[in-house]
Chain A
Amino acid sequence: MIMMSNRDEPDRSNPEDRLADFEKRLSARLESRNAEDRKYDRPRQGWAIGLRYGTEFMVGVLVGAAIGYLIDRVFDTLPFGLLIGTFLGFGAGTMNVVRAAKELSERALRDN
């Protein structure tokens, strides 16, 4: 006990020093822990994002084609409605993907 007080270390008996010391150690630990977490988060999210882009695009094309086909059935104009619908569906699918990418990059910017 007497030997300890001779050193340059923070005084353990002073509550405020102990708290500050604890804060310092805790924040250092948290920092390294968060860095570790981020490392593991990236690939998993990438997998989910890839799936999301895939469905967004596929669904756009499918819905476009379905609407075109329905118009064909009503007006008896097969195959022109289907063709135009699929064409527009590609556009809608691409727009879905662009929107998803924009929104995800905005969120990534906000998080970092």
Chain B
Amino acid sequence: MADTNPIKQFEIHEVAPLEIAGLNLAFTNSAFFMLLATVSVTLLMALATNKRALVPGRGQSIAEILYGFVADMVRSSAGNEGLRFFPFVFTLFIFILAGNMFGMFPYLPLPIPGVDNHGFTITSHIIVTLTLSMMVMAIVVGFGVYKNGFKFLKLFVPAGVPPILYIIVTPIEVISFLSRPISLSVRLFANMLAGHILLKVFAGFIVMLGAAGAAWGIVGILPFAMVIGLTALEFLVAFLQAYVFAILTCIYLNDALHPAH
């Protein structure tokens, strides 16, 4: 019977082994999909903008809509000052979006023979999403301290609180601040992981019912309908989670720009 293991899609395979100083730095299928996302986005943007027509064509329209969408997002949550982080937010958004969307291919063969081929969603691994969110926090803390100096610590000492309450409020603010990168990464990772497992579980039911023989194959229409619905939902989630990640990045960057609010 066909393999219906729903978590096989998250397996990491080495594509090109590489070991430096005892560290396993092999080029994996995860790295391949990150490269695919980066290269395809770069190509799309380069192709879309190389004409620079006054009246945009189809490709240029996509690039302009994406630019306008992210620029509005940055401006509405971090103000015009936040636009200096536009390249960072745009890169994050488009990388996560491309990674999520490439993950929607159920079967995407790697161009290397002899490697186990299956689709892969880079954002379904917490190490990837946590790295992205730690990058955001490093910029928030780094830029916040660089721009505001010690005033950045005002973030943990909100104004208008009776002095005695700082014993409780400051630790709460610190915990709240430290929980940000985790909630940012866990939300993206959990959404992608859960959605893709659900998709494969229902797809597995179709195979199992088909293999059960006789009239059971007809019952397989039910999980098939479910898979179609879930696929549509997953496309929505893929976009929505990239959007949520980017907009929360903007909100956190706003704290670095204006720590006392």
A59 touches B186 (CB 8 A): yes
Please tell me which stretch of B22-30, B81-89, B173-181, B213-221 contacts chain A, meaning at least 4 of its Cβ atoms lie within 8 angstroms of it. B173-181
B40 in the interface (beta carbon within 8 A): no
B168 in the interface (beta carbon within 8 A): yes
A92 to B240, alpha carbons, bound, how many Å? Answer: 25
A92 touches B187 (CB 8 A): no
Within 8 A of B (CB), among A48-62: 48, 51-52, 55-56, 59-60, 62
A56 touches B183 (CB 8 A): yes
Shortest distance from the beta carbon of B4 to any chain A beta carbon, whole Å: 27
Q: Which residues of B contact A60 (CB under 8 A)?
A: 175-176, 179, 183
Provide the B233-254 mask, 1 if CB < 8 A to any CB of A, else 0. 0001000100010000001000
Within 8 A of A (CB), among B76-95: 76
B175 touches A92 (CB 8 A): yes
Knowing A52-B244, A110-B76, the reply to whether A92 touches B168 (Cβ < 8 A) is no
Q: Which residue of B lies closest to A54 (CB)?
A: B187
Which residue in B175, B191, B240 is a CB contact (below 8 Å) of A88?
Answer: B175
B171 in the interface (beta carbon within 8 A): yes
A64 to B175, alpha carbons, bound, how many Å? Answer: 6
Q: Tally A residues with Cβ within 8 Å of B.
A: 24
Chain B interface SS verdict (over half): helix
Q: Which residues of A contact B168 (CB under 8 A)?
A: 88, 91
Q: Which residue of B lies closest to A44 (CB)?
A: B236
Which residue in A51, A52, A55, A91 is a CB contact (below 8 Å) of B172?
Answer: A91
B35 in the interface (beta carbon within 8 A): no
A64 to B178, alpha carbons, bound, how many Å? Answer: 9
Which residue in A63, A88, A91 is a CB contact (below 8 Å) of B182?
Answer: A63
Shortest distance from the beta carbon of B104 to any chain A beta carbon, whole Å: 18
Q: Which residues of B contact A55 (CB under 8 A)?
A: 183, 186-187, 190
Q: Which residue of B lies closest to A94 (CB)?
A: B172
Provide the A63-106 mask, 1 if CB < 8 A to any CB of B, else 0. 11001000000000000000001001101110110010001000
Q: Which of B182, B236, B244 has its CB near the most chain A CB atoms (within 10 A)?
A: B182
Q: Which residues of B contact A89 (CB under 8 A)?
A: 175
Q: Which residue of A lies closest to B187 (CB)?
A: A55
A91 to B173, alpha carbons, bound, how many Å? Answer: 9
Shortest distance from the beta carbon of B80 to any chain A beta carbon, whole Å: 16
Q: Which residue of B lies closest to A48 (CB)?
A: B240
Q: Which of A85, A96, A99 has its CB near the most chain B CB atoms (within 10 A)?
A: A96
Shortest distance from the beta carbon of B83 to any chain A beta carbon, whole Å: 18
B76 touches A59 (CB 8 A): no
Shortest distance from the beta carbon of A39 to any chain B beta carbon, whole Å: 16
Within 8 A of B (CB), among A14-66: 44, 48, 51-52, 55-56, 59-60, 62-64
Chain A residues packing against B (C-beta within 8 Å): 44, 48, 51-52, 55-56, 59-60, 62-64, 67, 85, 88-89, 91-93, 95-96, 99, 103, 107, 110
List 18 A-B pairs, Cβ < 8 Å: A48-B244, A51-B191, A52-B244, A60-B179, A60-B183, A62-B179, A63-B175, A63-B178, A63-B179, A64-B175, A64-B179, A67-B178, A85-B175, A88-B175, A89-B175, A95-B172, A95-B173, A96-B183
Extra A-B contacts (4), CB below 8 Å, given A44-B236, A48-B240, A55-B190: A48-B244, A63-B182, A64-B175, A92-B179
Query: What are the 4 closest A-B residue pairs judged by CB atoms, nearest first?
Result: A92-B175, A59-B183, A92-B176, A63-B179
